[in-house]
């Protein structure tokens, strides 16, 4: 074991140190980039705590069990693709919708809930227009409608 | 049993013993570890002394002694350097092995992670793949649960508020 062996060993040591540093850095920093789009869905999944993963599995199973509920995943994907401003507006609309639904008499409320999604939206709009015209004007003004 | 002493060892090494005595002590040294060790040690000392004797020119005791000590230091230093190099190489080798092990275990852990996760959750890999690919949507539903039931109604209501004329 002379000088060449020492040089080779030294070079190997440096390479291994660098490789370990790279692997360590990837593991240390990648989970922190979650949501920044730098990770694959599986990497993001594995970065979650096990308890959180179990919650999502149960929720997914629940959605898959009920007929028609799978559409919720499609809507959620669609919603997440919207600009933040539009998402904020939809949340406001939901708050209005929820408020209107809550104050409906039980019979009418049941009618709303049995109706399809679009019909429910239409019924809410009719209520807003006839019973709360000022609120409708305020919302339109807030969203850039004169 | 009589053993070698220093004087006897020197005489044996210098070939000053007669044939019978030399044969006797060689047989003895073959069997006696203690005398073998003494002989080896004295041989080393005589070798060093003979190096000192190689000094050319007229005898100058001080200079010869100095040269002799330098040679002794050189021999010792060379051995120490070799030992240090060997220790360094062995240490480097051990460190390389540890680093390689760490790297391999880290990489193996990576590739086995999905499998371990599915096993820990008690689900199939296929189901895990589906849930993982819909993770974004599931996170949205966690933040905004109303989307599951009222998304269509809310979109319709928004459209009517923004897109219809005032009465």
pLDDT at B107: 75
Q: A27: pLDDT confidence band, cut at 50, 70 and 90?
A: low
Cα–Cα distance measured from residue B114 to residue A40, given in angstroms and rounded to the nearest whole number: 13
Place of tokens 């959605």: A63
Cα–Cα distance measured from residue A114 to residue A117, given in angstroms and rounded to the nearest whole number: 9
Tell me which chain A residue has its CA closest to the CA of residue B136: A77
Contacts of B96 in chain A (CB under 8 A): 9, 12-13, 16
Domain ranges of chain A: 83-146
| Residue B55 pLDDT exceeds 60 | no
Is B4:B35 a contact under the CB 8 Å cutoff? Answer: yes
Q: B95: pLDDT confidence band, cut at 50, 70 and 90?
A: confident
pLDDT at A37: 56
Q: Which residues, 6 or more positions from A96, have their beta carbon under 8 angstroms from its beta carbon?
A: A124, A128, A135, A139, B157
| Residue A4 pLDDT exceeds 80 | no
Is B86:A3 a contact under the CB 8 Å cutoff? Answer: no
Contacts of A73 in chain B (CB under 8 A): 134, 137-138, 141
Average pLDDT for residues B134-143, to the nearest whole number? 92
Contacts of A66 in chain B (CB under 8 A): none
Is B134:A60 a contact under the CB 8 Å cutoff? Answer: yes
> What predicted TM-score, i.e. pTM, was given to this entire model?
0.53
Q: B59: pLDDT confidence band, cut at 50, 70 and 90?
A: low
Q: Which residues, 6 or more positions from B157, have their beta carbon under 8 angstroms from its beta carbon?
A: A93, A96, A97, A121, A122, A124, A125, A128
Kind and range of the H or E run holding B119? helix B61-121
Question: How much of chain A exceeds pLDDT 70, in percent?
Answer: 88
Q: B139: pLDDT confidence band, cut at 50, 70 and 90?
A: very high
Q: Does the predicted interface ipTM exceed a cut of 0.85?
A: no
pLDDT at A102: 93
pLDDT-wise least confident of A26-40, A110-124, B41-55: A26-40
Is B5:B15 a contact under the CB 8 Å cutoff? Answer: no
pLDDT at A3: 65
Q: A69: pLDDT confidence band, cut at 50, 70 and 90?
A: confident
CB atoms within 10 A of CB A73: 20
Q: What is the DSSP letter of A31?
A: G
Tell me which chain B residue has its CA closest to the CA of residue A74: B137
Cα–Cα distance measured from residue B36 to residue B18, given in angstroms and rounded to the nearest whole number: 19
Is A133 part of the contact surface with chain B (CB cutoff 8 Å)? Answer: yes
pLDDT at B130: 92
C-alpha distances (whole Å) from A92 to each of A11, A97, A111 are 62, 9, 23
Is A118:B153 a contact under the CB 8 Å cutoff? Answer: yes
A75 phi, psi to nearest 5 deg:
-65, -40
Q: What SS3 class is residue B93?
A: helix
| Residue B15 pLDDT exceeds 50 | yes
**What distance in Å separates residue B13's CA from the closest CA in chain A?**
33
Q: What is the DSSP letter of A69?
A: T
| Residue B138 pLDDT exceeds 50 | yes
Q: What is the pLDDT of residues B115-124, one digit of tens each?
A: 899 999 999 9
| Residue A36 pLDDT exceeds 50 | no
- A45 and B128 within 8 Å at the Cβ level: the answer is yes
Interface test with B, best of A27, A94, A126, A145 (most B CBs within 10 A): A94
Is A108 part of the contact surface with chain B (CB cutoff 8 Å)? Answer: no
């Amino acid at each position: 074991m002379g000088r060449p062996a020492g040089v080779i060993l030294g070079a190997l040591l440096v390479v291994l140190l660098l490789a370990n540093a790279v692997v360590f850095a990837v593991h240390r920093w990648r989970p922190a980039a979650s949501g920044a789009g730098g990770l694959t869905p599986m990497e993001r999944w594995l970065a979650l705590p096990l308890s959180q993963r179990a919650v999502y599995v149960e929720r997914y199973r629940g959605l898959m069990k009920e007929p028609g509920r799978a559409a919720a995943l499609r809507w959620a994907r669609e919603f997440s693709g919207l600009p933040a401003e539009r998402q904020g507006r939809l949340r406001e609309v939901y708050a209005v919708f929820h408020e209107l639904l809550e104050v409906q008499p039980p019979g009418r409320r049941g009618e709303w809930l049995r109706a399809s999604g679009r019909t429910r939206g239409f019924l809410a709009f009719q209520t807003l227009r006839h019973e709360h015209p000022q609120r409708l004007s305020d919302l339109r003004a807030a969203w850039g409608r004169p | 049993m009589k053993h070698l002493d220093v004087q006897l060892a020197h005489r044996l090494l210098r070939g000053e013993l007669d044939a019978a005595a030399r044969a006797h002590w060689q047989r003895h040294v073959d069997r006696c570890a203690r005398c073998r060790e003494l002989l080896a040690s004295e041989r080393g000392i005589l070798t060093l002394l003979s190096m000192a004797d190689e000094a050319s020119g007229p005898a100058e005791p001080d200079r010869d002694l100095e040269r002799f000590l330098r040679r002794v230091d050189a021999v010792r230093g060379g051995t120490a350097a070799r030992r240090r190099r060997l220790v360094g190489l062995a240490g480097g080798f051990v460190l390389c092995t540890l680093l390689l092990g760490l790297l391999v275990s880290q990489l193996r852990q990576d590739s086995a992670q999905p499998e371990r996760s599915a096993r820990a959750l008690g689900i199939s890999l296929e189901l895990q793949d589906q849930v993982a690919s819909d993770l974004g949507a599931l996170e949205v539903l966690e933040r905004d649960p109303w989307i599951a039931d009222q998304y269509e109604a809310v979109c319709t209501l928004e459209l009517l508020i923004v897109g219809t004329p005032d009465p």
